[in-house]
Amino acid sequence: DTGVSQDPRHKITKRGQNVTFRCDPISEHNRLYWYRQTLGQGPEFLTYFQNEAQLEKSRLLSDRFSAERPKGSFSTLEIQRTEQGDSAMYLCASSFPDRFYGYTFGSGTRLTVV
Amino acid sequence: TQLLEQSPQFLSIQEGENLTVYCNSSSVFSSLQWYRQEPGEGPVLLVTVVTGGEVKKLKRLTFQFGDARKDSSLHITAAQPGDTGLYLCAGAFSGGGADGLTFGKGTHLIIQP
Protein backbone atom coordinates (compact mmCIF):
# COMPACT_ATOMS: atom_id res chain seq x y z
CA ASP A 1 0.00 0.00 0.00
CA THR A 2 1.35 3.42 -0.93
CA GLY A 3 -0.28 5.27 1.95
CA VAL A 4 -2.57 8.28 1.71
CA SER A 5 -2.18 10.29 -1.49
CA GLN A 6 -3.19 13.90 -1.95
CA ASP A 7 -3.34 15.85 -5.15
CA PRO A 8 -2.20 18.45 -5.97
CA ARG A 9 0.69 19.05 -3.58
CA HIS A 10 0.58 22.75 -4.23
CA LYS A 11 -2.14 25.04 -5.58
CA ILE A 12 -1.94 28.76 -6.25
CA THR A 13 -5.23 30.39 -7.09
CA LYS A 14 -6.65 33.85 -7.43
CA ARG A 15 -9.11 35.14 -4.88
CA GLY A 16 -12.66 34.27 -5.85
CA GLN A 17 -11.79 31.11 -7.77
CA ASN A 18 -13.00 27.64 -6.80
CA VAL A 19 -10.51 24.90 -5.96
CA THR A 20 -10.89 21.16 -5.47
CA PHE A 21 -8.46 18.82 -3.74
CA ARG A 22 -8.42 15.05 -3.94
CA CYS A 23 -7.49 12.46 -1.35
CA ASP A 24 -6.96 8.74 -1.92
CA PRO A 25 -6.91 6.94 1.45
CA ILE A 26 -5.43 3.59 2.38
CA SER A 27 -7.84 1.12 0.80
CA GLU A 28 -8.51 -0.89 4.00
CA HIS A 29 -9.40 2.21 6.00
CA ASN A 30 -13.07 3.13 6.02
CA ARG A 31 -12.65 6.43 7.85
CA LEU A 32 -11.39 9.51 6.06
CA TYR A 33 -10.70 12.89 7.65
CA TRP A 34 -9.96 16.39 6.39
CA TYR A 35 -7.90 18.83 8.42
CA ARG A 36 -6.57 22.32 7.83
CA GLN A 37 -3.25 23.52 9.20
CA THR A 38 -2.12 27.13 9.24
CA LEU A 39 1.38 28.34 10.02
CA GLY A 40 2.40 27.74 13.61
CA GLN A 41 -0.73 25.81 14.48
CA GLY A 42 -1.65 22.18 14.83
CA PRO A 43 -4.08 20.62 12.36
CA GLU A 44 -7.71 21.70 12.75
CA PHE A 45 -10.46 19.14 12.18
CA LEU A 46 -12.89 19.95 9.36
CA THR A 47 -14.96 16.87 8.55
CA TYR A 48 -14.91 13.09 8.35
CA PHE A 49 -16.48 10.20 6.50
CA GLN A 50 -17.16 6.62 7.41
CA ASN A 51 -17.36 4.87 4.07
CA GLU A 52 -19.45 7.21 1.91
CA ALA A 53 -21.38 8.78 4.81
CA GLN A 54 -20.27 12.21 6.00
CA LEU A 55 -20.79 11.86 9.74
CA GLU A 56 -19.54 15.22 10.89
CA LYS A 57 -19.53 18.44 8.90
CA SER A 58 -20.45 21.12 11.39
CA ARG A 59 -16.77 21.99 11.77
CA LEU A 60 -16.36 22.98 8.13
CA LEU A 61 -15.22 26.57 8.23
CA SER A 62 -18.03 28.08 6.18
CA ASP A 63 -20.63 27.14 3.61
CA ARG A 64 -17.97 27.74 0.96
CA PHE A 65 -16.36 24.47 2.06
CA SER A 66 -17.79 21.11 1.05
CA ALA A 67 -16.51 17.56 0.91
CA GLU A 68 -17.63 14.38 -0.81
CA ARG A 69 -16.71 10.73 -0.80
CA PRO A 70 -19.05 9.37 -3.45
CA LYS A 71 -18.20 5.68 -3.45
CA GLY A 72 -16.52 5.37 -0.11
CA SER A 73 -13.07 5.43 -1.67
CA PHE A 74 -11.43 8.72 -2.65
CA SER A 75 -12.66 12.05 -1.33
CA THR A 76 -12.68 15.63 -2.60
CA LEU A 77 -12.64 18.89 -0.68
CA GLU A 78 -13.93 21.93 -2.53
CA ILE A 79 -13.56 25.55 -1.56
CA GLN A 80 -15.72 27.98 -3.47
CA ARG A 81 -14.97 31.69 -3.90
CA THR A 82 -11.59 31.39 -2.24
CA GLU A 83 -10.37 34.10 0.12
CA GLN A 84 -6.84 34.95 1.21
CA GLY A 85 -7.63 33.56 4.64
CA ASP A 86 -8.12 30.14 3.07
CA SER A 87 -4.38 29.91 2.43
CA ALA A 88 -3.21 26.91 4.45
CA MET A 89 -2.14 23.28 4.26
CA TYR A 90 -5.09 20.94 3.76
CA LEU A 91 -4.43 17.50 5.15
CA CYS A 92 -6.28 14.27 4.57
CA ALA A 93 -5.99 11.25 6.85
CA SER A 94 -7.50 7.79 6.98
CA SER A 95 -7.90 5.21 9.72
CA PHE A 96 -9.79 2.23 11.03
CA PRO A 97 -12.81 3.16 13.19
CA ASP A 98 -11.16 2.25 16.47
CA ARG A 99 -9.50 4.45 19.07
CA PHE A 100 -6.58 2.03 19.22
CA TYR A 101 -5.52 3.03 15.73
CA GLY A 102 -3.86 6.26 14.76
CA TYR A 103 -4.35 8.21 11.63
CA THR A 104 -2.26 7.97 8.49
CA PHE A 105 -1.90 11.40 6.97
CA GLY A 106 -1.14 12.36 3.42
CA SER A 107 1.50 14.92 2.55
CA GLY A 108 -1.13 17.62 2.23
CA THR A 109 -2.11 20.21 -0.35
CA ARG A 110 -0.58 23.65 0.18
CA LEU A 111 -3.09 26.28 -0.97
CA THR A 112 -2.02 29.85 -1.62
CA VAL A 113 -4.70 32.38 -2.48
CA VAL A 114 -3.35 35.53 -4.12
CA THR B 1 -14.60 23.04 22.70
CA GLN B 2 -11.95 20.83 24.23
CA LEU B 3 -8.52 22.39 24.33
CA LEU B 4 -5.21 20.65 24.37
CA GLU B 5 -2.09 22.53 25.48
CA GLN B 6 1.47 21.58 24.69
CA SER B 7 4.61 22.85 26.33
CA PRO B 8 7.14 24.05 25.63
CA GLN B 9 6.27 25.61 22.27
CA PHE B 10 9.92 25.79 21.24
CA LEU B 11 12.92 23.86 22.45
CA SER B 12 16.48 23.97 21.20
CA ILE B 13 19.03 21.70 22.84
CA GLN B 14 22.40 20.12 22.14
CA GLU B 15 22.84 16.63 20.79
CA GLY B 16 23.00 14.07 23.57
CA GLU B 17 20.75 15.92 26.01
CA ASN B 18 17.44 14.62 27.33
CA LEU B 19 14.13 16.43 27.02
CA THR B 20 10.47 16.13 27.95
CA VAL B 21 7.46 17.56 26.14
CA TYR B 22 4.07 17.86 27.83
CA CYS B 23 0.48 17.68 26.66
CA ASN B 24 -2.41 18.68 28.94
CA SER B 25 -6.16 19.01 28.80
CA SER B 26 -8.96 19.72 31.25
CA SER B 27 -11.00 16.95 29.61
CA VAL B 28 -10.54 13.20 29.64
CA PHE B 29 -9.20 11.61 26.48
CA SER B 30 -10.56 8.34 25.16
CA SER B 31 -7.17 7.96 23.47
CA LEU B 32 -4.15 10.12 22.78
CA GLN B 33 -1.64 10.06 19.99
CA TRP B 34 1.74 11.61 19.35
CA TYR B 35 2.83 12.64 15.87
CA ARG B 36 6.00 14.06 14.37
CA GLN B 37 5.78 16.45 11.45
CA GLU B 38 8.50 17.73 9.16
CA PRO B 39 8.16 20.95 7.10
CA GLY B 40 5.88 20.55 4.09
CA GLU B 41 4.75 17.06 5.07
CA GLY B 42 1.83 15.53 6.92
CA PRO B 43 2.15 14.34 10.52
CA VAL B 44 3.48 10.82 11.04
CA LEU B 45 2.08 8.72 13.87
CA LEU B 46 4.54 7.79 16.61
CA VAL B 47 2.30 6.14 19.21
CA THR B 48 -1.26 5.71 20.47
CA VAL B 49 -1.99 5.43 24.20
CA VAL B 50 -5.35 4.39 25.53
CA THR B 51 -5.07 3.19 29.13
CA GLY B 52 -4.46 5.56 32.06
CA GLY B 53 -0.90 5.16 33.38
CA GLU B 54 0.25 3.48 30.18
CA VAL B 55 3.92 3.78 29.23
CA LYS B 56 5.18 2.98 25.74
CA LYS B 57 8.73 3.03 24.46
CA LEU B 58 9.90 3.57 20.92
CA LYS B 59 13.69 3.33 20.86
CA ARG B 60 14.87 6.52 22.66
CA LEU B 61 11.33 7.91 22.97
CA THR B 62 9.19 7.18 26.04
CA PHE B 63 5.51 8.10 26.05
CA GLN B 64 3.43 8.25 29.20
CA PHE B 65 -0.33 8.64 29.58
CA GLY B 66 -1.53 10.17 32.83
CA ASP B 67 -3.53 8.07 35.26
CA ALA B 68 -6.58 10.31 34.81
CA ARG B 69 -6.14 10.30 31.00
CA LYS B 70 -5.95 14.11 30.92
CA ASP B 71 -2.26 14.50 30.22
CA SER B 72 0.67 12.89 28.49
CA SER B 73 4.39 13.34 28.13
CA LEU B 74 7.05 12.48 25.59
CA HIS B 75 10.59 11.98 26.84
CA ILE B 76 13.53 11.74 24.46
CA THR B 77 16.81 10.33 25.73
CA ALA B 78 20.13 11.33 24.18
CA ALA B 79 18.54 13.51 21.51
CA GLN B 80 19.99 13.39 18.01
CA PRO B 81 19.79 15.92 15.13
CA GLY B 82 17.43 13.53 13.35
CA ASP B 83 14.89 14.09 16.14
CA THR B 84 14.42 17.68 14.96
CA GLY B 85 10.82 18.38 14.00
CA LEU B 86 7.38 19.44 15.17
CA TYR B 87 5.93 17.10 17.79
CA LEU B 88 2.15 17.14 18.02
CA CYS B 89 -0.10 15.51 20.54
CA ALA B 90 -3.66 14.77 19.51
CA GLY B 91 -6.53 13.61 21.67
CA ALA B 92 -9.79 11.89 20.92
CA PHE B 93 -12.52 12.95 23.32
CA SER B 94 -15.08 10.45 22.10
CA GLY B 95 -14.50 6.82 21.24
CA GLY B 96 -16.65 7.06 18.14
CA GLY B 97 -14.43 9.65 16.51
CA ALA B 98 -17.28 12.11 15.98
CA ASP B 99 -15.12 14.99 17.12
CA GLY B 100 -12.09 13.97 15.13
CA LEU B 101 -8.74 14.37 16.79
CA THR B 102 -8.00 17.64 18.60
CA PHE B 103 -4.39 18.66 18.07
CA GLY B 104 -2.18 20.81 20.20
CA LYS B 105 -0.13 23.58 18.61
CA GLY B 106 2.95 21.42 18.80
CA THR B 107 6.46 21.64 20.16
CA HIS B 108 9.11 22.78 17.70
CA LEU B 109 12.21 20.80 18.61
CA ILE B 110 15.69 21.60 17.30
CA ILE B 111 18.60 19.36 18.16
CA GLN B 112 21.90 21.05 17.45
CA PRO B 113 24.93 18.92 16.58
B41 to each of A6, A25, B35, how far by Cα in Å?
A: 11, 16, 12
Give the residue among A111, A105, A85 at the shortest CA–CA distance from A6: A105
State chain B's mean pLDDT as an integer.
Answer: 92
Q: What is the pLDDT of residue A72?
A: 84
Q: What is the pLDDT of residue B99?
A: 62
Residue B106 reports pLDDT greater than 70: yes
End-to-end CA distance of chain A: 36
Report the alpha-carbon distance of residue B47 to residue A67 in Å, rounded. Answer: 29
Q: What is the pLDDT of residue B92?
A: 85
**Which candidate from A4, A99, A108 shows the least CB-CB separation from B95?**
A99
Distance from CA of A10 to the nearest CA of B (A): 10
Q: What mean pLDDT do residues A65-84 have?
A: 94
Q: What is the pLDDT of residue A97?
A: 77
Contact at 8 Å (CB) between B37 and A37?
A: no
Q: What is the pLDDT of residue A2?
A: 74
Q: What is the pLDDT of residue B1?
A: 57
Interface test mutation site (partner A, options B6, B86, B103, B107, max chain A beta carbons within 10 A): B103
Q: What mean pLDDT do residues B54-66 have?
A: 96
Q: What is the pLDDT of residue A105?
A: 96
Q: What is the pLDDT of residue A52?
A: 87
Chain B CB contacts of A44 below 8 Å: 103
Chain B CB contacts of A91 below 8 Å: 42-43
What digits encode the pLDDT tens for the residues A7-59?
999 999 999 999 999 999 999 898 999 999 998 899 999 999 998 888 877 77
Q: Are B45 and A45 an interchain contact pair (Cβ–Cβ within 8 Å)?
A: no
Q: What is the pLDDT of residue A61?
A: 79
What digits encode the pLDDT tens for the residues B65-89?
999 999 999 999 999 999 999 999 9
Q: What is the pLDDT of residue B78?
A: 97
Burial of B16 (0-12, 13-18, 19+ CB in 10 A): exposed
